[in-house]
Amino acid sequence: MIDTAEKLVTPERIEKIRGAITEFRDSVVSQVKDMQAEVKDWRFAMESHEEGVIVDIGLKLLIKSKSKK
């Protein structure tokens, strides 16, 4: 099953997932324009499954007021 995981989740696809996470964060930020959002933690895990590969993605965003200078 490892061969299947390596074929399905290539470095290029992992980079696309990273881009999707960035797009998601930007989408959240666009909904709260008067606030600031920063990624506090994110994780990515893969697990072989009899039908393919399970990809587990977690993202923690800190959303706070923009600091006034």
Question: Is the per-residue pLDDT at 39 higher than 70?
Answer: yes
Q: Which residue has the higher pLDDT, 67 or 60?
A: 60
Query: Once rounded to an integer, what is the mean pLDDT over residues 17-35?
Result: 82
**48 band by pLDDT with thresholds 50, 70 and 90:** confident
Residue-range definition of the domain harbouring residue 33: 2-65
* pLDDT exceeds 60 at position 12: yes
Q: Looking at the predicted structure, is the pLDDT value of residue 38 above 50? A: yes
Alpha helices per DSSP H over the chain: 2-8, 11-31
Q: pTM, whole model, 2 decimals? A: 0.54
Give the total number of structural domains in the chain: 1
CA distances from 17 to 32, 37, 50 (A): 23, 19, 22
